Structure 1
Amino acid sequence: MLSAGMASAGENGTFSESVYLDEMPVVLSVSRLSQPVDEAPAAVTIIDRKMIRDSGAWDLAEIFRLVPGMYVAYHASNVYTTNSTVSYHGLSDAYAHRMQVLVDGRSVYSPLFGGVLWDDIPLALDDIERIEVIRGPNSASYGANSFLGVINITTRHSAETQGKFLSLSTGRGRGEAVARYGGGDGDFTWRMTAGLRNDAGEEARIFDPIKNDTKHEANKQDDKRIRQLTLRADYHLDVRDELELQFGYNGGMREEGFGTDSFYTRQKQVANNFQLVHWRRHLDAGGEVGVQFYHGYEESRDTLYAMPPYTGLSFNAGVEAHRYDLEVQHIFSPSEATRLVWGGSVRLDRTYWPLYLNRQNSFDFHLARLFGNLEWRVKPEVVVNMGAMAENNDFTGTDVTPRVAVNWHFSPGHTLRASHSRATRTPTLYEQEADNRYRVPLPAPYDWIVRYAVGGLKPERIKSTEIGYVGKFSRLDADFRLFHDELSDLISPHNYNPCNPTGTLPMPGGFVLPPNVPVGLTAPGVACYGVDSLGSFNNGSAVIKGFEMQLQWRPGERTRLIYGLSHAIVSSPNENEQPYTNSVPTNSHSLMLAHSFDAHWSGSLTGYHVGEVRALGGVQKVDAYERWDGRLAYRFRSGNGNGELALVVQNLFDARYFEYEAVNQPPGRTAWLNLKLDI
């Protein structure tokens, strides 16, 4: 809540607190302070429950197709888990490790390859309250890896999910059952949500492949069986103190692999869980102090079986990763014109990953942070946000990432924002420590080295400047952002041979190996093969500039139109043939039209246009595409509760296109029925 003295623009050119609080949505994530969206120091897209429902999204990743500047690719990877990629402003491989993702303040950024395993998050769509997408660097609030943007997902309070809820879906290649029950009294409430999902993923064969060869004619194996269970309890200890407890589990079978890979396609078992405790004390004048602790666990049981000529060889590709995180945060008002949030956190990531790290013991990664953000109302119509994060980690040492922003309410309902920020990205465990090798005994023993980290990586860096506008025209809300981002020390993989017997290892760009890096990489009597090995180096740079726009128009009480546009240009020397210049679509659009015909019937139509792109790691550029989805729903009374029956059709016109690369083809026209009962 805004404290005394926090005023906004009012009618007749004067400024009062009520007009913006009444008309402008409030965001919670950008600076860690509750602020009207036109006083936040960065651009934000807000996705509410109705928007999620109207989109007809099957899974969480699909929702972000509606965010300007987001690139979403269906099942982009066939390694570790077959998951979609969600990236902001491109420059991404399949794991999209330049964006932070939080669920109720808990980071779900994977410590292994980086990025997010979207299908493995213990979260039901019907339990989401809202999603805030911060479009731009935000290391000042959430540290390294909040490099290009932040997604903050907030689940519903257990007091708002009382009673019984059931959701059943069935359709082509898809089926799901979700059941929820909530109980308790005024001071203590809780809910439990359980779900089962079968997802057949992509079609087995690619429709109209771009090449007539085995690799381009068959899709990945990507069937999933997902089991989920989440628990949330909220307890008001007294008038000031409240306690939040959460538990979640997601596990089941995942298919993985190509039929043309070095290893057979296979089924693997995953299991992910978390436990979270969050205590808050509400202070006077809108202040608050909070302490949060969570533990996250990521597990994959996987064995690789080699194809001919090495049939019979197998390798343990399993992984176990723990994350322990403790954070303290304090909000208060030093004066009538200012609010301050500050705090700190410590984190431990402990990973057991024998195949990719070539070690039989766990690897520990430590992280410590100190952050703060000051909101200062210089004048009734001018708000300044100043913030910074100091962070220390085992890989890159200490960095400070600042941000400053000025918001000017130059006219009632119209605001200009100017901001500049710095951000970093810490190397992933795979980039910094990989020693991914396979011991092949026949016909003669040798180590086949796929990836070997040279270490000594620096953090990626970005300098971001933006001019933004937020305005309200009667029933039309507008958000415009003009941005210029300078990226340096980008980490990318390059080929080199770590087995050079001369002791001099050739490096890209004249890079010199540290003296402690071993030469030969082989046990006695074991040859070393590393001609095609990869290592990570800080030798990339790029400039991204362009503009984004999002509009929300309500022509009537029953109709909502949401439009998003992104135009981005990447300029880069493309060092070592990394195609940064093509890794973001130049133009992309999204459009959602939702309408309630009467008290029972409603419908929505959602369309996407995505320009051509060559994602990092993708072999070929993929063409631009368009896709349209539709949803028709009938609401009805069910005893003492409510029900809804909906028909969702994705890819209405059966467009056959590729995402990420030319071996990723989403299903054609897909339809399913969904029944919801809320009692």
Structure 2
Amino acid sequence: MMKKLTLPLMTLLLAGAAQAQSMDYGAIAQLFGEPGTASATGSPQRATDVPANMVIVTADEIRRSGARDIPGVLRHVGGVDVLQWANDDYDVSGRGYNQAYSARTLVLVDGRQVYADSFGFTPWSALPVELSTISQIEIVKGPNAALFGFNAVSGVINIITKNPRYGKYYSLVGRYGSQSLREGSIATSFAIGDQSYLRLSAGHRSDKPFGTANPLPVDGSPNRSNERTAFNGDAVFALPRDIELEINASHSDAKQTEVSGGYSLQTSQYSTASLLGRISADTSLGLFKATAYTNWFDWSRAVGPVNISPKLSNTVSVFQIEDLFSLAADHTIRLAGEYRHNEIRTRDRGEGWIAFDAGSASAMWNWQILSNLSSTVALRFDSIAYDNVLAKTAPSRVGPSLHVNEWNFNTGLVWNVDNADTVRFLAARGVQLPNLVQVWDAAVGKGPGGVGKPPLGLVPSTVNNFEILWNHRFEMLDARLQTAIFHQDTYDVLSIGSGTFDAPGTGTAPANIGSSHADGLEMELNGRLNEAWRWQVSYRFETIKDRYVRTLGRTDVVSYQNTTPQHVLKAGLGWDFERISTDLYMNFQSQSGGMRRVGTKRVLVPVGAFTALDARIAYRLTDHISLALSGQNLFDDVQQQTSGPNVERQFFLTLSLQG
């Protein structure tokens, strides 16, 4: 049954709701009787009341998924596309438009950007997050830059970890499996005195790449093993006068076989580090928050017949400030500003750098028009100035400048028709900036623009999205339905999604090649039966039409209308009996295609319809110790899911101690 909010309870929650990471999510779930969020507007909301299309995956659902990494969890979520190129190598997007080094999804961990600005994609193995430390994952579909931040083009993956201030816990996990998998992680959260709290986590994983045949060209020598090591520390201090200080530090190293943005198989090594400080205060002028963080990202790989290892270092520093306040009982305002400096150094075999400085301002207005009707309007303005010194030419020179000014917006009208039905009308615009590697390629002049000219007239890609959602509760069946109809237009499509290290020659630089248009229907239904059974079904139908200017070249690199499956069906079934828990997940997608590199060109190859099956069976040895056997891609020994190497069936045994 839907729980009603009382004013004292809402006031109590808002006292700490400067942003999602300051919230006690256990209290929100208890209040609503279901998972909630404060990410979109700063105020606690059910997912069905958010002025965006949001799905929340809880910690319990993460555990039941049987997955050993975040993409393994996301592949079970309706409307989310996951390409598994290799063991440990994934690309994730929302509503199709996926590709190698996918650059259309903003990924956050506790409000900190974790995707790599250099290529614009997310190396999932390099994320310094253990599954046992995650409170919930919020998946937001469609452009949401005005609500969630910089470069949120076609979706947001918002990973929220457990705040050490709201409870002690410990976790010790060991995992052993096929492909020589060996994995261990440890996490603990505890108080230091009365007002200080600390969370520490660390993990290590090693496994072997799949042994299936590789249809792609190989850059460098074969990789014999994948490795991942990560550490994360989070400290929270409750200071006088309702002030909270948070300090977070993380580090990770990863080596993996992967498919590059140029559709070749390579071995990449990643090293990341971050340092974050955040202060939140409940003041007479509202809930104030200031955040500053720096991400360090290093990448290298072996390429070519002489095995030269190019290296790339990316540093991004961000400062954010915001204030959430109410002008009246029915009006909530959030004002925010942001500055970021982003740079990469050392490209291929030459020295040089390219950087941008960005200033952003945003405003959000939430108006409770009636008791059952609310509107949200959010605007964001970004001003970005690029600067570079190029050393791939002789002598080194200052490359052409590029300045970008762009608006993003999100609007949502939420109508709670009755206790069972909610209807939402959404419209949004998001902007995808050329990543730094793309701007570098353009500035060097590999493509039609030539050396010394403006960077090929390179401009950001814009995404407009229009959507209607209907949510219905079947009280008698303990089930929930969400239906969404959407239309999406992408203009100035970037020909190379994330930048590549290609053979030199005309046409290898990125360019804006035209537009792409999508129409789709999504349906998601889930519920419980007799407390012991749980089930979920989702279906997506989507058609995409690309309209490219073929004379610009590099249109062979992207073909969204052919690489996005029209039909995707997902289902899950779970059963609990005393100490036994079982879960089964099915993912079907219709025939589509994929890009494959042949020489300096890309060709479209068919990817047949397939059904992937994942499963988990667990037994609780004690209240705190459990043993689980999980499997992925269980239908066949090997299976084609992409244009890259086939994936293999996987099994792993997990022993966990948690409390």
TM-score, normalised relative to structure 2: 0.83
In structure 2, the residue matched to 1:300 is 299
Asked if structure 1 preserves the Cα contact closer than 8 Å seen for 2:126 and 2:254, the reply is no
Pairwise CA distance, 1:20: 12
- Among 230, 243, 268, the residue aligned to 2:232: 230
Contact 1:609 1:624 (8 Å CA) reproduced: yes
Aligned to 2:495: 492
Alpha-carbon distance in structure 2 between the residues aligned to 1:413 and 1:487: 35
Greater mean alpha carbon deviation, residues 139-148 or residues 167-176:
139-148
> How far 1:315 sits from its partner (Å)?
3.2
Give the conservation status (yes or no) of the 8 Å contact 1:353–1:359: yes
- The residue type paired with residue 569 of structure 1 is T
Question: Superposition pairs for residues 165-176 of structure 1, below 5 Å?
Answer: 165-173=171-179, 174-176=181-183
- Contact 2:374-2:415 within 8 A present in 1 as well: yes
Give per-residue Cα distances to partners, 1:584-621, cap 9 Å, x unaligned. Answer: 111112112122111x1111111111222224566412
* Pair 1:606-2:608 in alignment: no
Aligned counterpart, 1:241 = 243
Q: 1:278 aligned to 2:313? A: no
Unaligned residue ranges in structure 2 (runs of 5+): 11-27, 386-401, 445-449, 498-502, 596-601
Amino acid at match of 1:203: G
The range that moved more, 341-350 or 19-28, is 19-28
Structure 1 residue 361: deviation in Å? 3.0
Answer with 20-29 or 648-657: which moved more.
Answer: 20-29
- 1:643 is the counterpart of 2:628: no
Gaps of 5+ in 1: 8-17, 308-312, 438-448, 495-528
What is the aligned partner in structure 2 of residue 129 from structure 1? 135
Structure 1 counterpart of 2:204 = 196
**Judging changes above 3 Å, is the alpha-carbon distance between structure 1 residues 316 and 630 closer, same or farther for their aligned structure 2 residues?**
closer
Question: Which residue matches 1:55?
Answer: 65
Alignment map for 1:409-424 (pairs within 5 Å): 409-424=416-431
- Aligned residue for 2:515? 541
Match of 1:57, SS? coil
Residue 647 of structure 1, CA deviation:
0.7
Same amino acid, percent of matched pairs: 22
* Aligned counterparts of 1:62 and 1:413: Cα–Cα separation in 2: 32
Q: Report what 1:658 is aligned to.
A: 640
1:84 is paired with a residue whose SS is: strand
Per-residue displacement from partner, 1:522-546 (whole Å, max 9, x unpaired)?
xxxxxxx955641222122111011
Match of 1:458 in 2: 459
Aligned pair in 2 of structure 1 residues 159, 246: CA closer, same or farther (>3 Å)?
Answer: same
How much does 1:339 deviate? 1.0
* Amino acid in structure 2 at the alignment position of 1:579: S
Q: Does 1:187 align with 2:195?
A: yes
Q: What do the CA deviations read for 1:275-312 (whole angstroms, capped 9, x no partner)?
A: 11111113479x421111111111124443x32xxxxx
Alpha-carbon shift at residue 473 of structure 1 (Å): 1.4
Instruction: Report the secondary structure of 1:248's partner residue.
Output: strand
User: Number of aligned pairs?
Assistant: 596
Distance 1:270 1:537, change over 3 A: closer
Q: Is the 8 A contact 2:583 2:617 kept in 1?
A: yes
Which runs of structure 2 are paired with 1:50-449 in the superposition (5 Å)? 50-75=60-85, 83-159=89-165, 162=168, 164-173=170-179, 174-185=181-192, 186-205=194-213, 221=223, 223-238=225-240, 240-255=242-257, 269-283=269-283, 287-304=286-303, 306-307=304-305, 313-355=306-348, 359-394=350-385, 395-434=402-441
Output the CA distance in 2 between the equivalents of 1:433 and 1:318: 14
> Which secondary structure state, in structure 2, belongs to the residue aligned with residue 490 of structure 1?
coil
Instruction: Write the deviation string for residues 222-280 of structure 1: whole angstroms up to 9, x where unpaired.
Output: 7311111111111111361111111111114445689xx99xx8866431111111111
Q: Name the Cα RMSD after superposition.
A: 3.4
In structure 1, distance between residues paired with 2:6 and 2:121: 37
Give yes or no for contact 1:327–1:343 (8 Å, CA) kept in 2: yes
Matched residue of 1:652: which SS? coil
Shift of 1:573: 2.8
Cα distance, 1:493–1:152 mapped onto 2, change above 3 Å: closer
The alpha-carbon deviation at position 177 of structure 1 amounts to 0.8
Residues 440-492 of structure 1 show CA distances to partners (whole Å, capped at 9, x for unaligned) of xxxxxxxxx9xx99443111112211111122111111211110111111111
TM-aligned CA distance change 1:650 to 1:254, over 3 Å: closer
1:110 aligned counterpart, secondary structure: coil
Partner of 2:614: 629
Contact 2:147 2:410 in 1 (8 A): no
For 1:652 and 1:229, the matched residues in 2 are separated by 32
Contact kept, 8 Å, 2:488 with 2:519, in 1: the verdict is yes
Any idea what SS the aligned residue of 1:61 has?
Answer: helix
Distance 1:116 1:254 in 2: 13
Report 1:468-483 matches (<5 A). Answer: 468-474=469-475, 475-483=478-486
The letter of the residue matching 1:320 is S
Q: 1:51 corresponds to which letter in structure 2? A: E
Q: Is the partner of 1:74 in helix, strand or coil?
A: strand
One of 521, 531, 537 as aligned partner of 1:563: 537
Q: Give distance in 2, aligned partners of 1:246 and 1:2.
A: 33
Deviation at 1:181, TM superposition (A): 3.1
Cα offset, 1:145, TM superposition: 2.3
Amino acid at match of 1:190: L
Q: Distance in 2 between matches of 1:326 and 1:55?
A: 36
**Please, what TM-score do these two structures have when normalized by structure 1?**
0.81
Q: Secondary structure at the match of 2:51?
A: coil
* Closer, same or farther: CA 223–386 of 1 in aligned 2, 3 Å: same
Contact 1:2–1:34 under 8 Å retained in 2 = no
Return 138-147 or 105-114, whichever deviates more.
138-147
2:17 corresponding residue in structure 1:
none
The alpha carbon displacement at 1:566 in A equals 1.2
Q: CA deviation at 1:636?
A: 2.7
Question: What letter is aligned with 1:671?
Answer: F
SS of 1:242's partner is: strand
- Provide the rounded CA distance (Å) in 1 between the counterparts of 2:161 and 2:603: 34
Partner of 2:543: helix, strand, or coil? strand
Pair 250,530 (structure 1): closer, same or farther in 2 beyond 3 Å: closer
Q: Is the 8 Å Cα contact of residues 6 and 337 (structure 1) preserved in structure 2?
A: no
Distance (whole Å) between structure 1 residues aligned to residue 65 and residue 29 of structure 2: 30
| Structure number with bigger Rg | 1
* CA spacing shift, 1:658–1:454, aligned 2, 3 Å: farther
Contact 1:74–1:83, Cα closer than 8 Å, also in 2 = yes
Q: CA deviation at 1:44?
A: 0.7
- Cα distance in 2 between the residues matched to 1:269 and 1:402: 37
8 Å Cα contact 2:32-2:46 kept in structure 1: no
Displacement of 1:346 in angstroms is: 0.6
The superposition leaves residues 319-351 of structure 1 with CA deviations (integer Å, 9 ceiling, x where unpaired) of 111110111111111101111112111111121
- How far 1:133 moved relative to its partner? 0.7
Confirm or deny: 8 A CA contact 1:253 1:269 kept in the other structure.
yes
Distance in 2 between the 1:222 and 1:543 partners? 41
Question: Is the partner of 1:63 in helix, strand or coil?
Answer: helix
Q: Compared with structure 1, are the counterparts of its residues 178 and 352 closer, same or farther at alpha carbon in structure 2 (3 Å cutoff)?
A: same
